[in-house]
């Protein structure tokens, strides 16, 4: 919504300036006077030009859709029996009758303009506008250079391709040149290009040019310094999205007559802004997504005529100069996605003409200025994603024209005062530290479409019926406060436009009645509430054709589950008491994430899941599912996370029949089942997503479906049950623990160089620990405990510099424990139960003569040692404290903000501990015998 609004404002402003520039240069041309008719030759040339095109409404679609200009076929009025000077789009000289102007913009023309086109016979043309048509596969002909009297040439946005010919430079009388082009999403040969030589000739020969628009043209080979050779008469320069590179001198901004400059979206363009002598009549300045060096100078305040300033994403640092308050004519001030620090200058909130103020996504601190005057025209205020503190001033809530208010992701505190801005459509206060009651005045804002108060400390009871007056509400998020939502009283009202509802952790005890009959719902999150019983039948019809995200996790729901939604992408029902068999999944299933962890589902996994070709996350852990390994899941091309832990799966993991099984799998958890046989080396060898590091991205990225939701996951990491509320795309792990796998650890495991976690504990795996595990350079935790491993601990494991947890206990390992690096941080518990091991951290020195083991006790006496065994487990629990802290720090650091937290449960997974105890007791008894 926000981006659409900004784009609309930007295009409107751009169009205003364009029309203004056109209007100032058109007054000297008039239509022909009666009695003066155009020549037969020119009329014939125009008719021939008309006949070379088809009329196609989509050819000028952009005029109608993006610019609000009605397109129509102007050439329909061209008839041979009438004077061409009366034809639509044709202008003739009032004295000679010669055709001097041709405006066929937005005329729905579809075809090509070859070099021998009849248009080049109109030798007296002074103005030519062919913009917003479809001339794809046409190159800009050298013939355009024949119009020696041409002052205005506009060929923009008509899908010309190839090189801009240097012949255009022959138009020495040109005042306005517009060759702007739609840039393809994927650059190809259809993009217009301008080489250095052609630009140099244009700049040198067009001595009278005032307006120069080349947006979207590939100018990657051009030296920006050539732009300095323009004449001082230049008033408008637009080179938006031209792939310009290098540095552009500050003096370009000091041209004495410059009113309009747009260099936006040239990411490799370095810009210096003048620090002094910057007093030209500039009205429009757009440098979005460029690199503005040396900060925003105080001299910006000298541009008293400036109306539009866009510095979004310019990597600006330092403070915002207070002189920006001198821009008394500015309408749009866009400074978001930079690194500005310090406080918001008080002068900014006193700009009388301001309509759009955006300082979001910076590092601004301190409070919002306490007082403001003159913001009577402000429509949009964006201060979100900063470090702003203290209470929200009352003036912010009282602006008469305000429609969009974004203050989310800051550190605001205190109560919210009453809203007086009746025009508000958007309120985003999410992820702050606000408290108190939600003011009742919010529920009287009849135009409100979006309300986000999530992740604050609001308290009190909110009557669900209070929303009944908000008929325009589309998005409501009250999640994660201290609120209690009352039961429905009114049952006969709906919110007809509601498409996204997020009421997680709101002490809700029933499904909101206003959802009944909703046909437009896209996202619904009622997780972490107190909803009991079965999902009501009417809920299965809500958003049947539209719903894409549904989370009912962590409630007290029971009964069976249906799957009626045609377009759902994410279904989160984990941690309830749902039961029965899983529903069938129809062909064309759009699911990307399915999480049923922690329920009571039973039966076989439905093979119809293969219909969900886009499935990325499948978490069915902690249920009562049965059957053999669902090998057919290997064909899902997008599957990245597979969790089948703590069920009743059994049998061998069969050898894959696919050429490339599980091509994108990064998380595999089959723990706590009844699988037998050798470890599935054939699958492990083909887990390509775990074998290669994703070095193409340095930033932290998460798996997610949209702005409204993230994928979540429950795993055992370093011995602790861990709920990942967001899943890092670099997260990789394998957990095959607590099964009955046997044989040896396959060497091919060492090929999974991107693996971060490996748990093979509590199986019957024997043989040596393969040295190839030393190739797992990203490994952070390794658990091979409670197996039958023999031999020495490979020295190669010392090179695993990220390893923070290792458990090799209860095996038959011998020899000295490797020393150095991370191995110096591990404690006794990592090695206990291996009587042949010696060296630090064990008290047993490697020089000591090994003592014979203690006499074997009868198996039945094990019960008498329960207290001693429990004491050991308790001591191990204290030892795990450090490991728990390290795990928590790592995961919290990766999430970046408390809104996306990681919840670590500080107890060992119950089933693992129970099963591990049983296996350890049995194996110790066997060894003693």
Mean pLDDT, the chain, integer: 85
- Beta carbons of 209 and 232 less than 8 angstroms apart: no
pLDDT in tens, 557-588: 999 998 898 899 999 999 999 999 999 999 99
In this structure, the dihedral spanned by the alpha carbons of residues 377, 380, 382 and 383, taken in order and rounded to 10 degrees, is: 30
User: Can you give the C-alpha Rg of the chain in angstroms?
Assistant: 35
Longest dimension (CA), the chain: 127
Q: Which of 181-185, 337-341, 448-452 has the lowest mean pLDDT?
A: 181-185
Q: Helices (H), strands (E): how many in the chain?
A: 8, 62
Closest Cα partner for 308 from 370, 252, 264?
264
Q: Let me know if 841 is exposed, middle or buried by CB neighbors in 10 A (0-12, 13-18, 19+).
A: middle
Q: Is residue 244 scored above 60 in pLDDT?
A: yes
Q: What six digits make up the tokens of 297?
A: 């100078």
Asked if residue 813 is part of any domain, the answer here is yes
Residue 710: its pLDDT value, please? Answer: 57
DSSP 393-419: PGGGG--TT--EEE--SSEEEE-----
Q: Which residue has the higher pLDDT, 106 or 716?
A: 106
Q: Is residue 922 scored above 50 in pLDDT?
A: no
Last residue in a domain, options 405, 434, 463: 434
- 309 SS3 class: strand
Q: What six digits make up the tokens of 288?
A: 């979005």
Residue 875: its pLDDT value, please? Answer: 31
Asked if residue 528 is part of any domain, the answer here is no
Q: What six digits make up the tokens of 147?
A: 């119009």
Using 50, 70 and 90 to split pLDDT, how confident is the model at 929? very low
Cα torsion angle, 362, 365, 368, 374, sign: negative
Using 50, 70 and 90 to split pLDDT, how confident is the model at 191? confident
Asked if residue 57 is part of any domain, the answer here is no
Residue 31: its pLDDT value, please? Answer: 42
Closest Cα partner for 479 from 436, 522, 508?
508
pLDDT in tens, 15-61: 444 443 443 333 334 344 344 688 999 999 999 999 999 999 999 99
Asked if residue 608 is part of any domain, the answer here is no
Q: Are strands 109-110 and 54-55 parallel, antiparallel or unpaired?
A: antiparallel
Q: Which of 219-233, 306-320, 591-605, 619-633 has the lowest mean pLDDT?
A: 219-233
Asked if residue 811 is part of any domain, the answer here is yes
Q: Which of 493-502, 675-684, 857-866 has the lowest mean pLDDT?
A: 857-866
Residue 486: its pLDDT value, please? Answer: 84
Q: Which of 279-288, 596-605, 611-620, 706-715 has the lowest mean pLDDT?
A: 706-715
Q: Is residue 649 scored above 50 in pLDDT?
A: yes
Q: Which of 80-84, 101-105, 844-848 has the lowest mean pLDDT?
A: 844-848
- Beta carbons of 637 and 615 less than 8 angstroms apart: no
Assign residue 789 the CATH number of its domain. 3.80.10.10
Residue 873: its pLDDT value, please? Answer: 36
428 contacts: CB under 8 Å, gap ≥ 6? 384, 405, 406, 407, 408, 450, 452
Residue 534: its pLDDT value, please? Answer: 96
| Other CB atoms within 10 A of residue 544 CB | 15
Q: Which of 87-91, 224-228, 472-476, 541-545 has the lowest mean pLDDT?
A: 224-228
Mean pLDDT of 446-464: 95
* Edge-to-edge strands, sheet with 291-293: 245-248, 268-272, 291-293
pLDDT in tens, 748-789: 999 999 999 999 999 999 999 999 999 999 999 999 999 999
Residue 896: its pLDDT value, please? Answer: 40
Element housing 10 (H / E): helix 2-24
- Beta carbons of 407 and 428 less than 8 angstroms apart: yes
CA distance 556 to 24: 70
In sequence order, the β-bridge partners of residue 604 are 626
Cα–Cα separations (whole angstroms), residue 460 to 164, 463, 888 = 66, 10, 32
Last residue in a domain, options 434, 457, 488: 434
Q: Number of folded domains in the chain?
A: 2
Q: Is residue 692 scored above 70 in pLDDT?
A: yes
Residue 886: its pLDDT value, please? Answer: 38
On the question of a cis peptide bond just before residue 605, with omega within 30 degrees of 0, the verdict is: no
Residue 742: its pLDDT value, please? Answer: 96
- Beta carbons of 786 and 809 less than 8 angstroms apart: yes
Q: What six digits make up the tokens of 690?
A: 């775990």
Q: Is residue 813 scored above 90 in pLDDT?
A: yes
- pTM, two decimals, is 0.82
Q: Is residue 633 scored above 80 in pLDDT?
A: yes
Mean pLDDT of 794-803: 94
Domain carrying residue 743: 653-916
Using 50, 70 and 90 to split pLDDT, how confident is the model at 281? very high
- 918 SS3 class: helix
Residue 872: its pLDDT value, please? Answer: 37
Asked if residue 753 is part of any domain, the answer here is yes
CA distance 609 to 593: 12
- Beta carbons of 598 and 618 less than 8 angstroms apart: no
Asked if residue 293 is part of any domain, the answer here is no
- 608 SS3 class: helix
Residue 490: its pLDDT value, please? Answer: 60
Phi-psi region of 254 (alpha: psi -120 to 50; beta: other; left: phi over 0): alpha
Last residue in a domain, options 434, 457, 476: 434
Mean pLDDT of 84-101: 94
Closest Cα partner for 802 from 776, 774, 775, 778?
778
Cα–Cα separations (whole angstroms), residue 651 to 624, 633, 678 = 16, 17, 11
Closest Cα partner for 591 from 633, 535, 539, 558?
633
Asked if residue 694 is part of any domain, the answer here is yes
Q: Is residue 902 scored above 90 in pLDDT?
A: no
Closest Cα partner for 194 from 227, 232, 171?
227
Q: Which residue has the higher pLDDT, 703 or 763?
A: 763
């Amino acid at each position: 919504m926000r981006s659409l609004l900004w784009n609309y404002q930007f295009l409107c402003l751009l169009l205003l300036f364009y029309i203004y520039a056109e209007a100032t240069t058109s007054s000297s041309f008039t239509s022909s006077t009666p009695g003066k008719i155009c020549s037969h030759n020119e009329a014939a040339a125009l008719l021939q030009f008309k006949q070379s095109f088809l009329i196609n409404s989509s050819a000028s679609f952009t005029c109608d859709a993006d610019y609000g200009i009605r397109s129509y076929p102007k050439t329909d009025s061209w008839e041979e029996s009438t004077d061409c000077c009366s034809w639509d789009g044709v202008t003739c000289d009032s004295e000679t009758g010669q055709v001097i102007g041709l405006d066929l913009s937005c005329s729905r023309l579809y075809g090509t303009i070859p070099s021998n086109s009849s248009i080049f016979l109109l030798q007296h043309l002074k103005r030519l506008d062919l913009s917003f048509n479809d001339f794809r596969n046409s190159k800009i002909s050298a013939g355009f250079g024949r119009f020696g009297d041409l002052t205005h040439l506009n060929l923009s946005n008509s899908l010309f391709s190839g090189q801009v010919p240097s012949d255009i430079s022959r138009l020495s009388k040109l005042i306005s040149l517009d060759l702007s082009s739609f840039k393809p999403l994927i650059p190809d040969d259809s993009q217009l290009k301008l080489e250095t030589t052609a630009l140099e000739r244009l700049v040198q020969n067009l001595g009278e040019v005032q307006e120069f628009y080349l947006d979207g043209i590939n100018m990657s080979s051009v030296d920006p310094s050539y732009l300095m050779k323009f004449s001082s008469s230049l008033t408008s320069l637009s080179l938006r999205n031209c792939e310009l590179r290098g540095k552009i001198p500050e003096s370009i901004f000091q041209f004495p007559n410059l009113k309009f400059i747009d260099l936006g979206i040239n990411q490799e363009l370095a810009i210096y802004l003048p620090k002094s002598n910057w007093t030209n009549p500039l009205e429009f300045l757009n440098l979005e997504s460029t690199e503005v060096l040396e900060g925003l100078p105080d001299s910006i305040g000298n541009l008293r005529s400036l109306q539009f300033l866009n510095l979004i994403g310019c990597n600006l640092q330092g403070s915002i100069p207070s002189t920006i308050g001198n821009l008394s004519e500015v309408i749009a001030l866009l400074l978001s996605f930079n690194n500005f620090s310090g406080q918001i200058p008080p002068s900014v909130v006193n700009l009388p003409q301001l309509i759009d103020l955006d300082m979001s996504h910076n590092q601004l601190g301190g409070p919002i200025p306490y007082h403001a005057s003159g913001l009577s025209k402000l429509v949009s205020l964006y201060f979100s994603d900063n470090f702003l503190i203290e209470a929200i001033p009352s003036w912010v809530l009282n602006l008469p024209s305000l429609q969009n208010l974004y203050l989310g992701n800051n550190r605001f505190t205190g109560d919210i005062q009453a809203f007086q801005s009746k025009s508000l459509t958007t309120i985003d206060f999410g992820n702050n530290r606000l408290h108190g009651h939600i003011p009742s005045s919010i529920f009287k804002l009849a135009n409100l479409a979006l309300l986000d108060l999530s992740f604050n400390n609001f308290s009190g009871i909110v009557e669900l019926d209070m929303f009944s007056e908000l008929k325009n509400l589309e998005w409501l998020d009250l999640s994660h406060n201290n609120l209690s939502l009352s039961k429905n009283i009114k049952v006969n009202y709906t919110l007809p436009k509601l498409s996204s509802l997020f009421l997680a952790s709101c002490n809700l005890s029933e499904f909101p009645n206003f959802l009944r009959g909703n046909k437009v719902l896209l996202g619904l999150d009622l997780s972490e509430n107190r909803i009991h019983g079965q999902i009501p039948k009417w809920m299965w019809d809500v958003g049947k054709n539209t719903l894409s995200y549904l989370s009912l996790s962590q409630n007290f729901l029971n009964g069976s589950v249906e799957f009626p939604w045609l377009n759902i992408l994410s279904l989160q029902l984990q941690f309830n008491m749902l039961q029965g068999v899983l529903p069938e999944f129809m062909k064309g299933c759009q699911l990307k994430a399915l999480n049923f962890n922690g329920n009571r589902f039973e039966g076989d996994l439905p093979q119809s899941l293969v219909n969900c070709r886009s499935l990325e996350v499948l978490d069915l852990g902690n249920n009562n599912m049965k059957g053999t390994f669902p090998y057919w899941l290997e064909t899902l091309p997008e599957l990245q996370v597979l969790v089948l832990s703590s069920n009743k799966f059994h049998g061998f993991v069969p050898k894959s029949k696919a050429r490339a099984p599980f091509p994108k799998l990064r998380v595999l958890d089959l723990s706590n089942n009844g699988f037998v046989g050798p470890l599935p080396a054939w699958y492990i060898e083909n887990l390509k997503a775990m074998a290669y590091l994703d070095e193409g991205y340095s930033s932290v990225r998460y798996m997610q479906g949209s702005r409204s939701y993230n994928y979540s996951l429950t795993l055992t990491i370093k011995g602790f049950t861990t709920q990942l509320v967001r899943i890092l795309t670099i997260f990789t792990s394998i957990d095959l623990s607590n099964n009955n796998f046997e044989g040896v650890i396959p060497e091919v495991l060492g090929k999974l160089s991107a693996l971060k976690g490996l748990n093979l504990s509590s199986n019957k795996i024997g043989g040596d620990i393969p040295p190839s595990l030393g190739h797992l350079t990203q490994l952070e935790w390794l658990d091979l405990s409670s197996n039958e491993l023999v031999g020495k601990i490979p020295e190669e494991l010392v090179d695993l510099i990220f390893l923070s947890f290792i458990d090799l206990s209860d095996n038959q390992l011998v020899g000295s424990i490797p020393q150095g690096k991370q191995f110096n941080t591990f404690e006794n518990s990592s090695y206990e139960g291996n009587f042949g091991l010696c060296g630090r951290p064990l008290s047993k020195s490697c020089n000591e003569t090994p003592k014979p083991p203690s006499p074997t006790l009868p198996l039945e006496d094990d019960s008498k040692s329960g207290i001693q065994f429990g004491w050991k487990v308790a001591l191990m629990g204290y030892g795990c404290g450090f490991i728990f802290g390290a795990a928590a720090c790592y995961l919290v650091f990766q999430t970046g903000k408390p809104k996306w937290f990681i919840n670590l449960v500080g107890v060992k997974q119950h089933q693992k501990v129970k099963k591990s105890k049983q296996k350890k007791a049995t194996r110790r008894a066997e060894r003693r015998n």
